[in-house]
Amino acid sequence: MPTEPISRLARAKLNLALHVTGQRADGYHLIESLVAFADFGDEITVAHSDEDSFVVSGHFASWVPIDGSNLVLAARDLVRKLLPGTNTPPVRIALNKRLPVASGVGGGSSDAAATIKALLALWGAQIDAEELARAAVSLGADLPMCLVGRPLVARGIGDEVEPLRSFPAVHAVLVNPGAQISTPEIFKALEKRDNAALPKWTEANDTFAVAQALADMRNDLQQAAMALCPAIGDVLDALRSNGAELARMSGSGATCFGLFDNFGPAVAAADVISKMQPGWFVEPCLIRGTD
Ligand code: ATP
């Protein structure tokens, strides 16, 4: 068992496209989503300790619960449950909350996935990937995709994950206007739930090709979210007028992403937008490719 603390990045999850294609009898919506992960996110650090503890720091610390309802603690308890008979001694878990909360970038699910990976490393334990993904759905439908953490297509209620063979790294800027959005409320507000399927992903080598392919796809939640939170429209305008090849909302919002053909233009756009709107969350990042 390692004695040093172990840290893992809980990457922002970006729904580059999200099609709502139906609804199950139990009310859950069926989706088809092209998902990728940023090199920016929360940080989870786990360390051996005399007793279990949990601390939260970072810009968005006050937005998350610190009791058992935090997905980090639910993830710790799940790992212990999946490792009966294995030595899983007390841990101190620290969460550096850098991602906006309830904002469509899957912060809670990504924190849970990073916690699972960090604890398995700390305890020197392994769980079969399929068994882990199946069990982790109990924490949220986005857990399997966050455990993969690479470009993928998700289907079903988001829990059926197919990693992509080839996807380029792409520069992006994430922008949130400071609004929290309730995912169930957005789904409830949808006027249409049987939209066209996600087109098959074909190879794309650079930002332009990715933006072109994404232009034929949609986020079917975007219109409903904009009706509830008009600031999303301002965010998309700001990204487009500052050079984004494509700008779209992620998940149920309100975080949007803009795609840029290089690091320089992304940083320049982020700079202009954050000066224009000092209250917004603005973060240039690299979307991780398959390489
Ligand atoms: P998704 O894109 O999967 O819908 P989201 O980005 O909209 O997710 P999260 O940031 O994951 O939403 O937060 C959803 C809810 O989960 C919040 O209301 C929050 O109180 C709760 N929550 C529990 N643990 C966490 C955590 N570690 N980080 C963020 N939210 C958490």
Domain-wise residue ranges, the chain: 6-163, 170-287
The predicted structure's pLDDT at residue 287: 98
Residue 205 has pLDDT above 80, yes or no: yes
Q: Residues 228-239: what's their mean pLDDT? A: 97
d(CA 153, CA 160): 8
Q: Is the CB of 58 inside a 6 Å radius of any atom of ligand 1?
A: no
The domain defined by 170-287 carries CATH number 3.30.70.890: yes
User: Given pLDDT bands bounded at 50, 70 and 90, which one contains residue 180?
Assistant: confident
Residue 106 has pLDDT above 80, yes or no: yes
Q: Residues 264-287: what's their mean pLDDT? A: 98
CA of 265 to the centre of ligand 1 (A): 30
Residues 6+ apart with CB under 8 A from 275: none
Query: DSSP state, 10?
Result: E
Residue 178 has pLDDT above 80, yes or no: yes
The values of phi and psi at residue 24, to 5°, are -80, 165
Enumerate the β-bridge partners of residue 35: 15, 152
Q: Is the CB of 72 inside a 6 Å radius of any atom of ligand 1?
A: yes
Residue 12 has pLDDT above 90, yes or no: yes
Q: Given this chain, do its domains 6-163 and 170-287 carry the same CATH topology? A: no
Q: Is the CB of 15 inside a 6 Å radius of any atom of ligand 1?
A: no
* In the block, residue with structure tokens 């996600």: 198
Residue 112 has pLDDT above 80, yes or no: yes
Q: Residues 279-290: what's their mean pLDDT? A: 98
Q: Residues 166-174: what's their mean pLDDT? A: 97
d(CA 6, CA 166): 30
CA of 251 to the centre of ligand 1 (A): 12
The predicted structure's pLDDT at residue 9: 98
Picking from 41-45, 200-204, 278-282, which range would have the lowest pLDDT averaged per residue? Answer: 200-204
Residue-wise burial string across 57-89, b where 16 or more C-beta atoms lie within 10 A, e elsewhere? ebebeebbeeeeebbbbbbbebbbebbeeeebe
Residues annotated as catalytic (active site), given as ranges: 13, 142
Residue 2 has pLDDT above 80, yes or no: no
Which three-class secondary structure state does DSSP give residue 219?
Answer: strand
Residue 282 has pLDDT above 80, yes or no: yes
pLDDT digits (tens, 9 = 90+) for 59-79: 999 999 999 999 999 999 999
CA of 100 to the centre of ligand 1 (A): 9
Type of residue numbered 50: D
The predicted structure's pLDDT at residue 181: 87
Residue 217 and residue 36 in contact, taking contact as beta carbons nearer than 8 Å: no
C-alpha distances in Å from residue 198, one per residue of 21, 27, 63, 133: 9, 21, 33, 23
Instruction: State the closest ligand 1 atom to the C-alpha of 95, by its place in the atom list counted from 1.
Output: 27
Best of 43, 45, 101, 111 to mutate for ligand 1, by most ligand atoms within 8 A of CB? 101
- Fold for domain 6-163? Ribosomal Protein S5; domain 2 (3.30.230)
C-alpha distances in Å from residue 55, one per residue of 51, 58, 161, 202: 13, 10, 31, 43
What pTM did the predictor assign? 0.96
Q: Residues 187-193: what's their mean pLDDT? A: 92
Q: Is the CB of 104 inside a 6 Å radius of any atom of ligand 1?
A: yes
Q: Residues 39-68: what's their mean pLDDT? A: 97
User: Given pLDDT bands bounded at 50, 70 and 90, which one contains residue 203?
Assistant: confident
Q: What percent of the chain has pLDDT over 90?
A: 95
d(CA 286, CA 16): 13
Residue 111 has pLDDT above 90, yes or no: yes
What residue's CA is closest to ligand 1, atom 3?
106
The predicted structure's pLDDT at residue 116: 98
Residue 76 and residue 94 in contact, taking contact as beta carbons nearer than 8 Å: no
Encoding tokens for residue 231?
């600031």
d(CA 173, CA 129): 32
The predicted structure's pLDDT at residue 3: 82
d(CA 197, CA 256): 22
Residue 291 has pLDDT above 90, yes or no: no
